[in-house]
């Protein structure tokens, strides 16, 4: 039976990458799942956000209908999709640990200046690893669901700005300041 191996080092160079800072790579640059068995379970929280931006006329139409389409409520459907996605993050993102999530919350807000619906997610767990990926996945899938529910109105829709806002409870806390 054939075995899989990493490509030769000239095809997979790690010299330009500080692998010591990447938790999913060992010192040889090989992929591995992080061992969290020695960590202490703590309450961990992550907040993420993103936006779905629309052409001005489409945004006005969606807002005037309070997010109701022939398919149903945009935000209610996206809310359920975001929760489902957070719960299935370990099935979607390689090397994520399956976690018994304590809380998954999503909010949706109209942003008139950006002609956008802003999606925010908060995920909480008491465990040995954080929930950043779960929060980001919830936002991503909720945004994709909004796109799916509105694409009949226009394909000039952009999903943008998906980012981690805050995380706490682990080895280090994080607060988003800006990318600049």
Helix then strand then coil, in percent of the chain rounded to 5, is 25, 30, 45
* Annotated binding-site positions: 95-97, 133-134
Q: Could you tell me if 132 and 46 are in contact, meaning their C-beta atoms sit under 8 angstroms apart? A: yes
Q: Could you tell me if 66 and 109 are in contact, meaning their C-beta atoms sit under 8 angstroms apart? A: no
pLDDT digits 0-9 by tens, 102-158: 999 999 999 999 999 999 999 999 999 999 999 999 999 999 999 999 999 999 999
Residue 177 falls within a domain, yes or no?
Answer: no
Residue 37 has pLDDT above 60, yes or no: yes
Q: What is the pLDDT of residue 163?
A: 98
pLDDT digits 0-9 by tens, 73-99: 999 999 999 999 999 999 999 999 999
Q: What is the pLDDT of residue 110?
A: 98
Residue 14 falls within a domain, yes or no?
Answer: no
Residue 66 falls within a domain, yes or no?
Answer: yes
Residue 145 falls within a domain, yes or no?
Answer: yes
Give the total number of structural domains in the chain.
1
Residue 15 falls within a domain, yes or no?
Answer: no
Which is more confidently placed, 11 or 50?
50
What domain range is 140 assigned to? 42-170
Residue 18 falls within a domain, yes or no?
Answer: no
Residues assigned a catalytic role: 148
Residue 33 falls within a domain, yes or no?
Answer: no
Residue 57 has pLDDT above 60, yes or no: yes
* Annotated binding-site positions for substrate: 95-97, 133-134
Q: What is the pLDDT of residue 1?
A: 44
Tokens at residue 108, please?
Answer: 């949706």
Residue 179 has pLDDT above 80, yes or no: no
CATH code assigned at 133: 3.30.70.640
CA distance 86 to 63: 26
Q: How far is CA 41 from CA 59, 126, 128, 169, in A?
A: 43, 6, 4, 9
Residue 67: band (very low, low, confident or very high) from pLDDT cuts 50, 70, 90:
very high
pLDDT digits 0-9 by tens, 4-16: 455 554 555 445 5
């Amino acid at each position: 039976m054939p075995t899989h191996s990493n490509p030769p080092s000239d095809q997979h160079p790690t010299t330009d990458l500080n692998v010591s800072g990447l938790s999913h790579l060992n010192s040889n640059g090989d992929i591995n799942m992080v061992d969290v068995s020695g960590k202490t379970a703590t309450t961990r929280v992550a907040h993420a956000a993103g936006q779905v931006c629309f052409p001005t006329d489409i945004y006005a139409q969606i807002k005037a209908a309070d997010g109701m389409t022939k398919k149903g409520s945009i935000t209610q459907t996206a809310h359920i999709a975001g929760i489902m996605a957070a719960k299935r993050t370990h099935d979607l993102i390689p090397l994520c640990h399956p976690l018994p999530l304590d809380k998954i919350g999503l909010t949706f807000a109209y942003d008139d200046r950006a002609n956008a619906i802003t999606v925010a997610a908060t995920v909480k767990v008491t465990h040995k690893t954080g929930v950043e990926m779960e929060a980001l996945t919830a936002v991503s899938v909720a945004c994709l669901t909004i796109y799916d529910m509105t694409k009949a109105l226009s394909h000039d829709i952009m999903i943008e700005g998906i980012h981690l806002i805050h995380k706490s409870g682990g080895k280090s806390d994080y607060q988003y300041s800006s990318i600049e």
